[in-house]
Amino acid sequence: MATSAQRPQPFPAPYSVPSAFLPSFPSYHSGLLSPLSSLHPSSCAQNGPLSGLQFIFPRASRPLLCTPSFSGLPPILPQLQLPNLHAVRVQINAAVSRGLRFESARWLAYRRNYLSITINVVFDIPLSALPTPLPRSRQSVDNHNFSIVLDLRNGTQRVVRVKFFAVTVVAEDEVNGRPVDLIQHTSKRDQGPRRKPVVARIRPTLSDGRLTATPISHPASLGANRLLEDFIPMDRPASAGSTSRNMPTASSASPDYAAGLVDSDQDQLPSFDSLHETAEVVCFERIQFKRATANNGRKNTAQQMFRVVAILYAAVDETECFDGVVSNAEQGTNGIRYLEIQRVATGGIMVRGRSPGHYADRVGGGGMIQ
């Protein structure tokens, strides 16, 4: 096949899946307005006639959002609560808004193609727990009003103040849960550095009188026009510190940085640009699976599958975690410990390692995108 062959359509392909296979979109089962509707000014959300499936159409009439559903796993300690001891329930809404195809009854990705993953978090706060008078719409809710109950090894509990919340995205083997690396490129792609997706700080806000708090994210992850600056750790103000040490490579950065455990936000109010001032989602763009699933298309072998996981963390002072029973936590910078509050995950995704043409005439492997 000549290299000059017509270029196949990029993902996502025109969507023509038998309705029996249509993936559901339960990420927004709460009935709230989809936060993804504000993803792009020129896009418009459209709740299609197909049950549960939501499309967002960009300029071209091609489905932009075609995502596997994320479902919650059993709640994980520690329990979030407010100062008055009201429990706070959390809902993570996530989508792989680019880069996957639903084909032959399963989700399909290519290792070298970009994924975009969007995460939104809704805090369900009891009416009685809201401050009076009600804060104005979109007013920030102080993170310090949240705390978590940490179980200690001696059987007692400790209430730990939440310094802030954060979300991130990871991947894992669907069967054994072993981690699978995700990598994030700059717009320079192969020429630029790669890193794991950051742990992006979010901030709860009351939104439009709803009795929920929706975190507003700094446009932390790599947006369309965000290049190398985004790879600079932001756990201190960009203006402060050294003169914007340019483009640290993965090796020159701190261990936390290399691990993706870098706050992508600062303590003060984020300065939103006009495109993001109403953003209620964190967008991780230019994400790739670092490796493909094993035995793709092989007969008589176990087809490995990966899944994408969106995680909400409560960041606390690590000294307060002493003797705590913590099932899932990550160490951050500056004495921060990220305690996992909740996670949602997709089902299995097949990740192909070679170019689509290689799989074109494979039985069960699907064809080229038309």
Which residues bind to DNA, rule: CB under 7 A?
1-11, 59-60, 98-99, 110-114, 187-190, 224-225, 227, 285-286, 290-298, 352-358, 369
Q: What's the min distance (Å) between Cβ of 112 and DNA? A: 4
Nearer to DNA, 176 or 225 (CB): 225
Calculate ∠ Cα 186-191-196, nearest 5°: 40
Nearer to DNA, 111 or 161 (CB): 111
The two three-digit tokens of residue 203, written as one number = 């901030």
Burial 234-248 (b: 16+ CB within 10 A, else e): bbeeeeeeeeeeeeb
Nearer to DNA, 250 or 329 (CB): 250
Phi, psi dihedrals of residue 226, rounded to the nearest 5°: -100, 120
Q: What's the min distance (Å) between Cβ of 250 and DNA? A: 12
Q: What's the min distance (Å) between Cβ of 291 and DNA? A: 2
Q: What's the min distance (Å) between Cβ of 281 and DNA? A: 17
Nearest to 151 by CA among 204, 228, 81, 77: 77
Phi, psi dihedrals of residue 194, rounded to the nearest 5°: -130, 150
Nearer to DNA, 15 or 266 (CB): 15
Nearer to DNA, 123 or 359 (CB): 359
Alpha-carbon distance of 341 to 76, in angstroms, equals 6
Complete DSSP assignment for 37-102: GGS-TT-EEEE-SSTT-EEEE-SSSS-----PPPEEPSP-SSEEE-TT--B-EEEEEEEEEES-EE
Nearer to DNA, 132 or 300 (CB): 300
Q: What's the min distance (Å) between Cβ of 226 and DNA? A: 9
Burial 293-317 (b: 16+ CB within 10 A, else e): beebeeeeeebbbbbbbbbbbbbbe
Q: What's the min distance (Å) between Cβ of 107 and DNA? A: 15
